[in-house]
A and B are shown apart, each in its own frame.
Chain A
Amino acid sequence: MQLKPGAVPPPNEDKRWRIVEGTMRRHGHQSHALIEVLHTVQECFGYLDDVALRWVARNLRLPYSKVYGVATFYHFFTLKPQGKHTCVVCTGTACYIKGSTALINAVTAKAKITPGETSDNKQVSLLTARCVGSCGLAPAVVFDGEVAGKVTPEQISKRVEGWMRNDA
C-alpha cells in the first residue's frame, strides 16, 4: 500500500516534531528534501536518533537504508547526543599550522575526551571542523556556536574547565 504523503503521525507528543513536519510540508514531502529535513531534526533535537530517522524515512517514502546512508555520509550530522556545551576546534590549514593540535590536546587533558566524544558528566563535547572559514583569526574555536579567534591552549583549557565544573 502506498502511504499518503505526510500520513505518518510523529513518534510522540513532542512539539518539536511539528517543526520537522513543517519542513517536509514545505518541500511537498518529496524525497529530495531529505537533507533539509535532517537539518531540521538536528536543529530541533541536537542529534539524529533512530526513531527520528525511521519516521523521516516513512514520511518521505524512502527506504530506511537510504536515510541512514545519507545521515552517516555527511559529517555535519551526528547520531549521538551532544553534551551541554560544545567546543568545535577548527582544523583548517591555517588553524593547523597555527597550532590547532595543541588546542585539541588541551581539551583532551582537561575533559579526558578526544574529538567526537562527550565528557563523562555530559557537560562538554569536543568536535573538530574542517574549516569554519575564519582563517584570518587562526586558530579558531567555536564555543557553543560562537566563533572565537586566536585562541591559546590556556584560554581553551580555562573555558573547558569552567564548563566541566558546572556539574560538580
Chain B
Amino acid sequence: MTLDELRELAETEREKQTQVKHEIHVCTAAACLSQRSDQVKASLEAEIKAHGKEDCCKVKGVGCMGLCAAGPLVSDESNGRLYQNVRPADENTDTKEIVASLESEPVERLSLSPELPFFKEQKKIVLENSGKIDPERIEDYICAGGYEALLTALTEMRPLEVIEQITKSGLRGRGGAGYPTGLKWSTVAKASPHNGAKYVICNGDEGDPGAFMDRSVLESDPQRVLEGMAIAAYAVGANRGFIYVRAEYPLAIKRLKIAIKQAETMGLLGANIADTTFSFKIELRLGAGAFVCGEETALIASVEGKRGNPRPRPPYPAQEGLWNAPTLINNVETFANVAPIIRNGGAWYAAIGTEKSKGTKVFALAGRVANTGLIEIPMGMPLRHVIYQLGGGIPDNRRFKAAQTGGPSGGCIPEEYLDMPVDYESLASVGSIMGSGGLIVMDETSCMPDVAKYFMDFCCTESCGKCIPCRVGTVHMHNLLSRITAGEATPEDLALLERLCDVVRNTSLCGLGQSAPNPVATTLKYFRKEYIDHIHHKRCTAGVCEGLARPGKDDKPKGKPAEVTA
C-alpha cells in the first residue's frame, strides 16, 4: 500500500462514519469486559434493531476509556454523552433507556460528566485512539491517521532523519529507567549487523504489580505499537521484530494477533512495505510469568527460549542482544509515542512536559483513590493535582498517607512531597522512580512496614537466583520485615535491615536486585516512626499487622479526652 492509497482508504472510512448519526462506543477492554460490557454491547445492538434504527445508529466496541472504576462505560460520539455502570439487558433497563433517549434528554441516573477533571485535565498522545477506535479493525486505525507516519518515514525520510526527530523530541524510555530513546536508536543504527541481522523487541512484560498501562495500550490500540516498531526498525536497519507479552494478558495477545495479521494483509508489515525495499516482520512471544523478564537481558534470554536470567552489561543489547545481534528494546508505551512524533515532528513533542522529561506519561491510578483507572498527563503535573483533581481524592474521608510509584522497584512518597512535579528527576530525588507508571495511593489503613514486606516478598520470589546479593539478600530482608510486622524484631534487626538495603542495592547484577530495597528504604526514611512503633511499642497504627496493639482500639490514651473541634 502506498501513502496515497492509505489516505484514500482513510477518506472512504471517514465518509462512511459521517453517514452514521449516532456512533455508540462501548468499552471492551479487560476491565469493562469483566463487568460484562460485551453483553452491554449486544443489548444495545438488539435494542437498536428493535427500534429499526440500524441505518443511523452503530454500536462499536472500543478500547479503554480510562475510568475503569465506573465501568462498563458507554459513550455517544455524536453528542459527547458518557454513561457509567451500564448493565446489560438481563440485569436492568439501562440499555433500553439509552437507546430510547438518543434524540431526547440523556439518561440522568447513568450520566457521567465528560467535564470532570479526570477527563479534562488529561493530555492524550499515547491514548489518543483509546476509546475511539475499534482495536480489531485496522481501517479504524487508518481512519484516525494511522500508518501515515510509517509510510511518510519510508518514502520521504532517511533513517537518520527519523532518529533525529526522535532525539529532538526528548522522548525517554517509558519502561521506567528513562534512557533517552534517540540515543538508544542511534547506537543500534550505528552497530554493524551480526550475521546480517538486527532486531527490534517490544517489551510488553508488564510485571509490576499495580501497573496496567501496557495492557491497556495493547488492548485498545495495538496497531499503534506495531507502527512504532516498524518505524524504529526502519530507523535502525532491522528486518525482524518481536513483541514479548505476558501470557496473563489473553485479550492483548488476541488483539495483537489480529492486528499483525491485518497489517500484513494490507501490506503495512511484511515484505517491501509501501513498495520500498524495506521489509519488516513481527512475531509474538509470550512471557510466562517472571518479573525479571522485564529486564532487557533477561527478556532476550526468554525470547531465545531460555530461563530468564539476566547477564552483566556491557555489552548492551544495542551492541549484542538477541542471538548476539544488535537489538533495540523499547517498552510498549515508548513505541506508542513514536508515530505521533514522526507525524507532528520532534519539536512538537518537546514542547510538552518539563525541561528534562518531555511529553506525557500514562499512569495506572489505583488503590485508595476515588477514580481508579488510566490517565495520561503531561510530565510535571504535581502529584497532589493528580491524586485530588484527576483521582478525585481519597474515599471515605480518609487521610492520604503515601503514593507508591514504580512498583517493587519504586518507593513510597509521603504527604510532604505531594506538591512535587511528576517527572523522572523529581521522583528519583525522593528515592522513588517513574517506573512503568503504576501509581498506587495509600491511606491510613495501610501499614508501611507491611507494604515494604509485601514488596520484598515479591522481590525474593521473583529473584532469578543468579546472583547472591539478590537471591539471599532479599530473603533476609523479607525475614527481617516479617519479624518487624510480627512484633518480634529488635533494634539490631532494624540496623541490619538498613545495611542490607545498601548491600543489595550496590552489589546485585541487574535492575531487580538493585532496586529491590527501594520500597524498604523509602518507608524507612519517611515512615520510620511506624517501624519504631512495631519494634519498641509492639503497635501497628494502621491495625494491619495481626497480633499487634492498635492505638485507639486496644490502648486508648489515658487522661484528658481529645478536644472535639466543631
Question: Which A residues are CB-close (under 8 A) to B303?
Answer: 32
- A36 vs B288: C-alpha distance when bound (angstroms): 9
A93-B440, A148-B34, A149-B34 given as contacts; is B364 within 8 A of A135 (CB)?
yes
Chain A CB within 8 A of B286 CB: yes
A133 touches B288 (CB 8 A): no
A31-B305, A36-B285, A75-B289 given as contacts; is B215 within 8 A of A133 (CB)?
yes
Number of A interface residues at 8 Å Cβ cutoff, please give it. 40
A69 touches B307 (CB 8 A): yes
- A145 vs B249: C-alpha distance when bound (angstroms): 11
A129 touches B248 (CB 8 A): yes
- A97 vs B210: C-alpha distance when bound (angstroms): 11
Question: Which A residues are CB-close (under 8 A) to B33?
Answer: 147
Stretch from B9-17, B273-281, B365-373 contacting the other chain = B365-373
**What is the distance, in angstroms, from B252's C-beta to the closest C-beta of chain A?**
9
**What is the distance, in angstroms, from B73's C-beta to the closest C-beta of chain A?**
11
A149 touches B31 (CB 8 A): yes
**What is the distance, in angstroms, from B146's C-beta to the closest C-beta of chain A?**
24
| Closest chain A residue to B306, Cβ basis | A70
Contact of A131 among B211, B304, B373 (CB under 8 A): B211
Q: Please classify how large the interface on chain B is, using the bins under 10, 10 to 19, 20 to 34, 35 or more.
A: 35 or more
Chain A CB within 8 A of B208 CB: yes
- A39 vs B250: C-alpha distance when bound (angstroms): 12
Chain B CB within 8 A of A132 CB: yes
**What is the distance, in angstroms, from B34's C-beta to the closest C-beta of chain A?**
4
Chain A CB within 8 A of B485 CB: no
Segment 95-139 of A: residues with Cβ below 8 Å from B: 95-98, 129-138
Chain A CB within 8 A of B473 CB: no
| Closest chain B residue to A98, Cβ basis | B367
Q: A93-B454, A94-B209, A145-B250 are in contact. List 20 more A-B contacts (CB 8 A).
A: A34-B305, A36-B305, A70-B307, A73-B308, A74-B287, A74-B288, A75-B289, A75-B290, A91-B209, A93-B210, A94-B366, A97-B440, A97-B446, A97-B451, A131-B211, A133-B249, A134-B31, A135-B440, A136-B365, A137-B31
Q: Can you list 17 contacts pairing A with B, beta carbon distance less than 8 Å?
A: A35-B302, A39-B288, A69-B307, A73-B307, A75-B289, A76-B248, A91-B209, A93-B366, A93-B367, A94-B366, A94-B440, A132-B248, A133-B215, A134-B31, A136-B212, A138-B372, A149-B35
Residue numbers of A with Cβ under 8 A of B are 31-36, 38-39, 66, 69-70, 73-77, 91-98, 129-138, 140, 145-149
